[in-house]
């Protein structure tokens, strides 16, 4: 079954953000805020890979309502090493990322580039209504320095055998700032500010079943990983 987009879910809820942001865009056609940029909503886009940044510029060439920041969001300003791994590109000195955990990749077999890093407070003016954060294990560094308190925050927290290395920090931040989970996908948790969007029974039921589905997917991946390791030892 095709996943209903965040854009369409929010339209059904009657929520229309005044300003949106995405950190870790990758291909713009798959961006969670693609429709918002195209319909003229003021937008912030952050992408560290210069080749992908060029794709974004070309995709939105007829739009003047967005600002693109070609940098990585991290815990300090300077330069960091980015490991190119398609949609799963990640910061080299991070111990855990989806590509490392789920795909068992070898760093020496991938292309690495140096990119500029900044803290998110240098980008955020405090007026973001909706933000999508998918930067392969560094999501916490966005929340840590974020000035805004968006109504909606979509953030990569899980996927297969992977669990965000800063999951506890993310969870505590959400609780401290009055957010709760609206729904989940195979990789993301979508949080909403308390009292801003009405959560109904169908939302609660869907979250319950997605939690079960994600749990079963994780078990299935664990079994496959064990069988693969056992086969290699034979």
Cβ atoms of 131 and 20 within 8 Å: the answer is yes
pTM of the model: 0.91
Separation of alpha carbons 198 and 193, rounded Å: 10
Q: Comparing 103 with 111, which gets the higher pLDDT?
A: 111
Q: Please report, for the chain, the start and end positions of each structural domain, with discontinuous segments joined by +.
A: 6-233
* pLDDT of 88 over the 90 cut: no
- What integer pLDDT is reported at residue 161 of this predicted model? 82
Looking at per-residue pLDDT, the higher value among 224 and 10 belongs to 10
Top-level class of domain 6-233: alpha beta
Query: In this structure, how many other beta carbons lie within 10 angstroms of the beta carbon of residue 231?
Result: 8
Pairwise CA distance, residues 40 & 17, whole Å: 11
Decide if pLDDT at 98 tops 80: no
Q: Specify the higher pLDDT residue, 111 or 143.
A: 143
Reported as a pLDDT band with limits 50, 70 and 90, residue 3 is: confident
Residues 6+ apart with CB under 8 A from 14: none
């Amino acid at each position: 079954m095709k996943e209903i987009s965040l854009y369409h879910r929010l339209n059904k809820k009657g929520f229309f953000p005044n300003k949106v942001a995405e950190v870790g865009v990758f291909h713009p056609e798959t961006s969670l805020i693609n429709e918002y940029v195209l319909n003229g909503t003021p937008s912030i886009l952050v992408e560290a890979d210069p080749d992908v940044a060029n794709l974004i510029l070309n995709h939105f060439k007829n739009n003047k309502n967005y600002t693109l920041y070609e940098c990585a969001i991290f815990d300090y300003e300077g330069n960091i090493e980015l490991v190119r791994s398609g949609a799963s590109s990640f910061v080299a000195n991070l111990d855990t990322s989806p590509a490392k955990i789920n795909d068992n990749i070898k760093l020496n077999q991938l292309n690495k580039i140096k990119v500029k890093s900044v803290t998110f407070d240098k980008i955020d003016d405090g007026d973001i209504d909706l933000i999508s954060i998918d930067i392969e294990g560094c999501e916490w560094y966005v929340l840590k320095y974020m000035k805004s308190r968006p109504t909606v925050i979509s953030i990569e927290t899980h996927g297969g055998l992977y669990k965000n290395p800063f999951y506890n920090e993310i969870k505590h931040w959400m609780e401290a700032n009055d957010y709760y989970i609206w729904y989940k996908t195979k990789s993301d948790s979508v949080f909403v500010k308390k009292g801003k969007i009405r959560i109904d029974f169908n939302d609660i039921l869907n979250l319950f079943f997605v939690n079960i589905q994600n749990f079963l997917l994780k078990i299935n991946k664990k079994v496959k990983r064990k069988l693969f390791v056992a086969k290699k030892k034979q």
